[in-house]
Amino acid sequence: MTDATVEIVVDRLGAGGDGIAEHDRQRLFVPNALPGERLLVRLGPARGEGRSATVVRRLSDAETRIEAACRHFGRCGGCVLQHLLRPAYADWKRTLIVEALARRGIADAPVTETLVVPPGNRRRAVFSAVGRQGGAVLGFAEAQSHAIVDIAECPVIAPPLFRLTAPLRATFSTMLGPGQRGQAIATMTMSGIDLVLEIDRSLDLAARERLAAFAGETDLARLSWRRPGGSAETLAARRTVHVGFDGVPAVFPPGAFVQASLAGEAALIAEVLAGVGAAKTILDLYAGIGTFSLPMARKAKVTAMEGDPEAVKALAASSRGAITVERRDLARDAPDEKLLSGFDAVVFDPPRSGARTVAENLARSSVATAVAVSCNPQTFARDARTLIDGGFRLERIRPIDQFLWSSHVELVALFRRETP
């Protein structure tokens, strides 16, 4: 009974951006639907705690509905909420955090308004490509699918990244056989675009020459290639590649992690600096290539820990001995409470899985200030619960939306010990 149609009214937005409605004691997840809208929907397969449904006809529009900004909206998996008016959209992102905390018993959390980064600001994009007869398709994956939307526009990414898509598509067309897949990780740096091609094939001399010519024609700062899971080999190093964190220059290894937008990064750095305040000794965990370590080191003695060897090497080079940089697997070998207690403040910015052990050890430590940066409200809320149970007070959370129109949100949270 997957093609039955029913009339529903959407209650609210879910964490993935779908409209949620109750029907026949079942929860329905409806893409491109807003709270208050009356819809005729076709019931689809089971999904999570309910089932999916697709809109057959919208019988009424929400007052908050607006025209989507992109022709690919609805198909492209990158965006889920282009059709919602900005204040309601910003509030939804904030609510994602408030609700995740509430589920952990943290009520009335001091969550400020969301800072929303404007369109055209993404400085880093991961394009997917697949070979076809007659040329490659290049863009982003469709929602819940491996199919790729061949993008003709993208209002999210910065214009220089979009300008790269046509030559990149042409290049992939020469490299990918039908059905063969590849990726391109493009980052705007202070030196120009750093591009890493991920293709599971060897490169003969002709391919290398073609790629070096492509790097020149598109004025890339650097072009590298790697097999999936392999390390990058630089094919064209046309300029030394640098980024800057709050004005402090940093070495940028091929395809390294940086925050998704410059505006988001600036806001994150400002929040972290305000959070650590006048701390004289700071431990920066999951430090990457130094987004927070390098600006913090202007005023404090910083120790940075990070798992990725290339990032560790880059941060050590950027800091020129001013920062103690340690390679460490923080999931398996988190600093214990004794080590943590030697610092005035600890900053941690883990991957989506969060920082469970770091939070547990912080809870047992005597650290006065902890600043959490997170891109996942669920794991953040788990770790916040641990810190609060360990005697920290949650002073402030700043939501920063640098993943425009997606269901992701970034945040910075400040915790202080009740009685240091």
Ligand X SMILES: C[S@@+](CC[C@H](N)C(=O)[O-])C[C@H]1O[C@@H](n2cnc3c(N)ncnc32)[C@H](O)[C@@H]1O
Catalytic (active-site) positions:
375
Contact 392, 363 (CB under 8 A): yes
Question: Which ranges in 331-376 belong to alpha helices (H)?
Answer: 337-340, 356-364
Query: What is the nearest approach in angstroms of ligand X to the Cβ of residue 33?
Result: 31
Name residues contacting ligand X, limited to 60-89 (CB under 6 A): none
Give the three-class secondary structure for 275: helix
Beta carbon nearer to ligand X, 72 or 123: 123
Of 43 and 279, CB closest to ligand X: 279
Place of tokens 């020149």: 216
Pairing outcome for strands 12-13 and 137-141 = unpaired
- Supply 165's token pair: 């898509």
Q: Which phi and psi angles does 207 have, rounded to 5°?
A: -65, -40
Residue 331 as a binder of ligand X (CB under 6 A): the answer is yes
Location of structure tokens 């070495």:
251
Q: Does 380 help bind ligand X (rule: CB under 6 A)? A: no
Shortest Cβ distance from residue 121 to ligand X (Å)? 16
Interface segment toward ligand X; rule CB under 6 A; list 110-118, 217-225, 280-288, 389-397: 280-288
Judged by CB under 6 A, the chain residues 300 through 319 that form the site for ligand X are 306-308, 311
SS3 362: helix
Burial category of 48 from C-beta neighbours within 10 Å (exposed 0-12, middle 13-18, buried 19 and up): exposed
Instruction: Please report how close the Cβ of residue 306 comes to ligand X at its closest, in angstroms.
Output: 5
Closest contact distance (angstroms) between CB of 146 and ligand X is 25
Find all residues with CB under 8 Å of 208, minimum gap 6, and list them: 235
36 Rama class: left (phi>0) / alpha (psi -120 to 50) / beta: left
91 lines the binding site for ligand X (CB under 6 A): no
Contact with ligand X (CB under 6 A): which of 127, 252, 286, 380? 286
Q: Does 351 bind ligand X (CB under 6 A)?
A: yes
Q: Which stretch binds ligand X (CB under 6 A): 56-64, 111-119, 254-262, 411-419?
A: 254-262
Question: Does 136 help bind ligand X (rule: CB under 6 A)?
Answer: no
Would you tell me which residues interact with ligand X (CB under 6 A)?
257-259, 286-288, 291-292, 306-308, 311, 329-331, 349-351
